[in-house]
Structure 1
Amino acid sequence: MLQGKTVAFLIAPEGAEQVELTEPWKAVQQAGGTPRLISTKAGEIQAFHHLDKGDTFPVDGTVDQVSVDDFDGLVLPGGVANPDRLRTQEAAVRFAKGFFDAGKPVAVICHGPWTLIEADVVRGRRMTSWPSVATDLRNAGADWVDEEVVVCTGGPNTLVSSRKPDDLKAFCQAAVDALGS
């Protein structure tokens, strides 16, 4: 389904929720795609199990080294710190926005929409997220709903969103479907 497709996973150097990286990563690989970890700094990223340090993962490229043209889609894992750090990095926000400008699919989970809010790409989109991000999404013009997974095709691209790690099975399936189309 994703044979020959390359998917960017945009993550700050520290703070991503590990399972929100590893489960979609495996789903992309199992569907025949190639996931690549993109960050704002070279080296490794530090993942977390909620507030406890998890594993580290090697960065495949930085937002300054790669182009949206190198990828068929984007996944934005959550955790609180990851998207909070990404939204303060102009190059990371520009990279995420580039997928919308190019009409490429994007999948986002948990607090990940903060990066998309900063990129000003959620207006008029139907989305879900971690509940504490709901007001931010509404204030940015999104139609927030409390659902396991939302697939929004009413915009320049397909946007898949989910609330939390408990939703990963549905999120991964919807993300793979969107990235494969």
Structure 2
Amino acid sequence: EAVQTLVSDRHPGDLVPAETTLARATADGYDAVLVPGGTLNADQLRTDTDARRLVSAFAAGGKPVAAICHGPWLLVDSGLATGRELTSYPSLRPDLENAGGTWRDREVVVDTSGDHPLITSRRPDDLDAFSSAIIRVLAGDD
């Protein structure tokens, strides 16, 4: 199987081979899950039963869940934003707050207050800070 990438959130890009599907993926054997951004992809992921099941399994296992840009929509629909401090693309602020989260306008927010680390970031310009935060959490430094 292959995944169709998008350029600028709407133009078809490269086809990338997939090692598994959301329906077959489990949290076993992985250290963390990263939810990508992009408006169209994130909108589709948030309504996907298997995507919600997968991020919930990582959270239930105490494993880090990371999401960037519009990716935190999946956290809303999975119930993982409730009671957590997080960030996102600014237009998601009302959705995250309505879901019981506390939204912050920061390049990256690492919330370790719950049963699993939650790492969120606003936009592609914040990728360096987002990646560094994920590495720190996986290394046990955060």
Return the offset for 1:47.
2.9
CA distance, structure 1, for counterparts of residue 26 and residue 11 of structure 2: 32
Q: Distance in 1 between matches of 2:46 and 2:100?
A: 17
- Which of structure 1's runs of 4+ aligned residues deviate more than 4 A? none
The CA deviation at 1:82 is 0.9
Shift of 1:63: 2.0
Output the CA distance in 1 between the equivalents of 2:138 and 2:8: 26
Q: Does 1:88 align with 2:47?
A: yes
**72, 77, 87: which is aligned to 1:118?**
77
Q: Tell me which residue corresponds to 1:62.
A: 21
Cα distance, 1:67 vs. partner? 1.4
Which structure is higher in RCO with an 8 Å CA cutoff and minimum separation 6? 1
The reply on whether 1:161 has 2:120 as its aligned counterpart is yes
Q: Aligned residue pairs: how many?
A: 140
Q: Percent identity?
A: 42
1:60 Cα offset (Å): 1.1
Alignment TM-score, normalising by the size of structure 2: 0.92
Distance, in Å, in 2 between the alignment partners of 1:54 and 1:167 is: 22
Give the alignment of 1:12-161 within 5 angstroms: 42-161=1-120
Matched-pair contact (CA < 8 Å) for 2:27–2:54: yes
Counterparts of 2:9 and 2:50, CA distance in 1? 26
Query: Is the CA contact 2:2–2:15 (under 8 Å) kept in the aligned structure 1?
Result: no
Unaligned runs of 5+ residues in structure 2 are: none
- Tell me the TM-score normalized by structure 1: 0.73
Higher strand share: 1
Aligned CA-pair RMSD: 1.3
Q: Separation in 2 of the partners of 1:55 and 1:180? A: 32
Rounded to whole Å, the distance in 1 between the matches of 2:51 and 2:99 is 19
Structure 1 residue ranges without an equivalent (≥5): 1-41
* SS class of match (1:70): coil
Letter in 1 for 2:34: V
Distance in 1 of aligned mates of 2:10 and 2:25: 30
